[in-house]
Every structure is written in C-alpha cells, then in structure tokens.
Structure 1
C-alpha cells in the first residue's frame, strides 16, 4: 500500500479517537472492508458504543487504549500493534476536540489544549508510526476539517490547530512519498456526531458571557444550527476513509461531501483572501 498502490491483502490499521463519531464509523467500515482494525481511544470505559456498533455490523476489531497527548501511550500502542501483528500499514489520525470561543474571551489554556490534541496528537502518532509505515509502504490518513482551510469565527483555537495539521502534512507529503508512504488529509464539513455536543456549548451561557461579542455569537450560533441541520453522517465519512486505504491513487486532500467542496473552493482559489473573509464576515453580522 504505497503512495499510489493499494495493499494487495488485508492491511493492519490503527485508528485514533474511535469511541464516537467519525472514528467509530471509520473503525467499523475498515473492519467491514476486511482489514485488521485496531480502534483506539483515550478512555476505554467509553468503548461500549463501538463494541455495540461492531457487533451490529458483524465485524471483529480490536479496542486499545491510546491517548494522543501522551508520548508513552502512543509509543506503547504502536509498538504493541507491530509486536502482535508484525506490521503497521496505515494510521488514521482522527482524535480531536472542539474549542469554541474568541481570543479575548478564551483562556490561553484552551488554546494550548486544542493544539495538544488536534495538532501535536497528529504529530505524535505520525512520528511513532513512520518507521513502520516506511517498512510496509503504508499510509497516513488524517481527519482534518474544512476548518483547516477556512478560518471560522469563534473557532480561533480549533482552526489554528487544523491549519497547523494541514501545513504539517502538506510539508510531509512529498518527503514521505520518497520513502513510499502516502499522506492524505480528509476534510469533512458539518458531520452529525457527538463532536459538537462534546464541545459543551450552552448557547444561552455563551451569549450571556460574550459581552461586546454577544450579537456576533447569536448570529454565529444561528448559522451553525442551520449548517448542522443538513449534516453529513459519520458513516458516510467513515466509508470514504476506508475506501482511501485501497485507493489506487491517493490524493493529498479530500473533501467528504459536495458541501465541503463548495465551502473550501473560495479559499483554495482566493489568492488574496478577500473572498473567504467576505463570506465569513456574514456569519457574524446580525440579521437586519
């Protein structure tokens, strides 16, 4: 399974953040495709939903502990996979966390936490996996976001981390290809999962605590509710990711829906940034 050649047999795949949402759906889809699937999560007490989903789908997968913010946890998990299965063919960097707020109101600790999980977690897992992926001609598949292309109001910390992910992997992509490792970033838009719920947003409290930003918060929350009303399913995204394991030609950047493609197109074709900022300015302008 090199950068442009799918693996001829079942691959051994490690997935992070598999307790809910995209990670859970990806683990089930990868196992259904016949691959050896090691689905990891920080807290194994939250494995029940994944076990139930795997049982309902009639697939077997392994569940293991891995905390992407902990060097020893990552190194131990990767070493165990290689020791028990003899190889590692792909990692799916999925673990992530929301961080909603703007810089004046958001504690610096929230910025650091967002970078630690969403960015350094990807770096940590990729670094540990690379020697084994070189040996197998494997792939690094990373769940980024349309927020890794377009900076979004009240997502200062989250988008900063996802922008960093995109820059890191875009830089790694040509270098990894020289040693036979494929690199791909996956960019979902709105997805119907527990990700937003896990952000712990209380809309009334968010508005009450926003001070001079209250009108912008109201407009943002209204726009966000509309976008998630038509959200893509986590199963759709998981199936797409599973398909990338066997794709004959692995692209660097993949949007998971037409909505996601439409969302990032202005930025990717916007040399001076004026088009994308004109769009997002409307997100925080209260309706007349």
Structure 2
C-alpha cells in the first residue's frame, strides 16, 4: 500500500517544520506547504522526504490549486494539519479594524478555506483534520485581542464541526500549545519596540507584557519538536481527542477555564443531537 498523505500548512519554521519532519519519519508522505517557497531552506535541509509546495491559506485559488495538485499526484489525502498562522501584538484603541481583519484572515479564515477544500477528500479516506490552535484559543490574553479572537473562532468552528465530521468518518483534533521556543518576535509581524513607543497610555503595561512574554518564549518554552509530538500522535491514534494540550503547563493553564479538557463531554453531548 502507498503511504498515507498528509498536507501541512505553514511549514517554514517552528511547529509546522517540526511536524512535517516528524510525520515523514513516522512513514507519512508529507506535503509541506508554505506561502513563500523562498523560505523553504530549513525544510529542504531537514533530511526528511518532503514534497514542498506553495500554498497561501488566504488565497482561495492557491488553496484549490494545491489540494487539486495533491489529488492529481497521489490520488488521496488522508490528513490535513492546519498550522499556518501569525501572531499579533496590540490593543484595539491603537490599531485599525482592518488590522484586526487581517489577523482573522490568516488565523481563522485561512483554516476555514483549507478545511472546506480538504473535507471531500478526507471524507473519502476516513481521514484526520488537525488544527494547531493555542492556549490563547481558550484563555484570552492581554494585547492579544485580535489573535485570541481568531483562535477562539478556530476552537468554536472545529468543536462544532467535530460531531458532524465524525458522522462521515473524519476525526477532528485541536492542538493547543503554550509558549514554543521559535520565532516569537518574527511571528508577530510587528516591531515590539515601535508598538510600545506608539502605545500612549498603554505603553507601561505593554512593555511589562512584552518582557514577560519574551521570558516565557525563552527559558520556559517547549521546543517546536516537543510541541509537534501530539500532532503525530493525533495522526496515528485510533480515537484522537478533540482537544490536546502540548504540555503540562498548557493543560494547567487551559484548565483554569476548561473543565472538559479533552472535549469528550462536549462531543458526547452534541453527537447525540445528530444521532
């Protein structure tokens, strides 16, 4: 039998890169996608057997072309890992609504776009739909209003889709990392010093938040490889949980809000609504 095919978005660095390499090492045929293929150096140098392709999750034509290409070349799609996304730093008084929309476009609507295109093929294969969310999709955090709103939306979308997808053979899983030692500042797509300088009455508290966050992404963070381990586990588990935290810290942190941490009680309830 040919190996199972998994498409992973946002694989230029961090969790996406680590997940692509780990899935390949686990025997999957990995289609590693990224918006800008000029940033594929780490993928190509990883030593993994990876099929690197261009995919911009915010562009419907790009999403369709990539998935159609995978089906044309392999004839199957067994799993998708929605990992592409971008961080953000700011508060609503100091930024435009258009900036908030851009954050939602990448972190939420990009997930929706890929999921819609992939679902017919995942349904055909009885596949897996795995989405990298965040502890920020469960607990709102200062100066992360737009980012957490997008991740909250991802959580609600996937939790609602899960019982429906299960009825047609597709398992849905949300991966919830905490701090991961990757490119924190680069992933923000802004200069924190500039944002602080223009923060007006919020400057002092924003500076405190940035200092705390830099520390947590430095000494106390997981490696991307550690954060990617639950992704591969969700690919291979017979019955993957709806919600998986990537560390004990992430479980404790989300536990301040979630009593049903693996999502089993919620799914047990909503699945009966369509039985």
Return the offset for 1:94.
0.2
Return the offset for 1:124.
0.4
TM-superposition CA deviations, 1:185-221 (whole Å, max 9, x none): 0000000112432314444333221111112112212
Return the offset for 1:167.
0.4
- Are the aligned partners of 1:99 and 1:110 in contact in 2 as well (CA < 8 Å)? no
Cross-structure match for 1:198: 187
Alignment pair present for 1:215 and 2:204 = yes
Alignment pair present for 1:153 and 2:161 = no
Residues 24-173 of structure 1: pairs in structure 2 closer than 5 A: 24-53=17-46, 55=47, 59-173=48-162
User: TM-score by structure 1 length?
Assistant: 0.87
Cross-structure match for 1:254: 244
Long gaps (5+) in structure 2 = 261-275
Long gaps (5+) in structure 1 = 1-7, 271-288
Q: What is the aligned residue count? A: 259
Alignment pair present for 1:187 and 2:176 = yes
The Cα RMSD (Å) is: 1.5
Residues 18-29 of structure 1: pairs in structure 2 closer than 5 A: 18-29=11-22
TM-superposition CA deviations, 1:164-192 (whole Å, max 9, x none): 00000000000000000000000000001
- Are the aligned partners of 2:185 and 2:191 in contact in 1 as well (CA < 8 Å)? no
Q: Distance in 2 between matches of 1:267 and 1:106?
A: 28
Counterpart of 2:257 in 1: which secondary structure?
Answer: helix
TM-superposition CA deviations, 1:50-74 (whole Å, max 9, x none): 1112x2xxx2110001000000100
Q: Distance in 1 between matches of 2:226 and 2:2?
A: 24
- Are the aligned partners of 1:97 and 1:195 in contact in 2 as well (CA < 8 Å)? no
Higher RCO, Cα 8 Å, sep 6+? 1
Counterpart of 2:57 in 1: which secondary structure?
Answer: coil
Alignment pair present for 1:11 and 2:1 = no
Q: 1:27/1:203 Cα in 2 relative to 1: closer, same or farther (>3 Å)?
A: same
- Are the aligned partners of 1:26 and 1:241 in contact in 2 as well (CA < 8 Å)? yes
